[in-house]
A and B are shown apart, each in its own frame.
Chain A
Amino acid sequence: AQSVTQLGSHVSVSEGALVLLRCNYSSSVPPYLFWYVQYPNQGLQLLLKYTTGATLVKGINGFEAEFKKSETSFHLTKPSAHMSDAAEYFCAVSARGSSNTGKLIFGQGTTLQVKP
């Protein structure tokens, strides 16, 4: 069975500092990998995803993530935090294969706080 672990339920950074949100997955076959952001009382918005090809994936709002198969990780980074980045971030996986529905398995989430 697939699972996702997000290390750190709460991360606090200063404005302009590096953002690093950690995600590790467990799967017998490398899955599709996603990062979503959720603002208060809003739905989920896709930041980026990895399906195949280049392991460094660039997303919206200056975020990027690197798929490391040997570490079963997909950590999210942003070089310089902005106040508007404060939100809840979810890492998710989806199984590969034509028989799979595309349902997402989510981590517990990490709350990012950005201090002025």
Chain B
Amino acid sequence: GAGVSQSPRYKVAKRGQDVALRCDPISGHVSLFWYQQALGQGPEFLTYFQNEAQLDKSGLPSDRFFAERPEGSVSTLKIQRTQQEDSAVYLCASRFIEDTEAFFGQGTRLTVV
């Protein structure tokens, strides 16, 4: 596609429910990042993939958060047993190689009720 695509755009989950957020990066982009943006805050790094390898997951806030990119293209961020503090916009970004611009998707707004 022309840009980074994220789905769904909006997700409402009941507390305790599991959710899966999808990111389709720009075709051919090697690197993929996930960020969490709480209301009124700047994005915070969650995890980084180079192809299918998850090289940095230092930003994942708890073991309820899990990300994968099994074939080095589409990535899924999964949150188990969602809690209210998980409510945020989840942004995905991809870039071709190191030292090139990262392009961001429009994000998925997750609301946990």
Pair B104/A44 contact, Cβ less than 8 Å: yes
A31 at the interface (CB under 8 A from B): no
Chain B residues positioned under 8 Å from A46 (CB to CB): 101-102
Main secondary structure of the interface of A (DSSP, over half): loop
Q: How many A residues have CB within 8 A of the partner chain?
A: 22
Mark contacts of A84-116 with chain B using CB atoms, 8 A cut-off: 1 yes-contact digit, 0 otherwise.
000000101000001001111111110000000
> From A107, which residue of chain B is reached at the shortest CB distance?
B42
A42 at the interface (CB under 8 A from B): yes
Pair B102/A102 contact, Cβ less than 8 Å: yes
Chain B residues positioned under 8 Å from A43 (CB to CB): 4, 91, 93, 104-107
Q: How many B residues have CB within 8 A of the partner chain?
A: 26
How many Å lie between the Cα of A43 and that of B99 in the bound state? 20
> Among residues 1 to 56 in chain A, which have CB atoms less than 8 Å away from a CB atom of chain B?
4, 36, 41-46, 49, 51
9 closest A-B pairs (Cβ-Cβ)?
A106-B42, A43-B104, A44-B104, A103-B45, A101-B48, A43-B106, A101-B56, A106-B43, A109-B42
Q: Which A residues lie at the B interface, using CB under 8 A?
A: 4, 36, 41-46, 49, 51, 90, 92, 98, 101-109
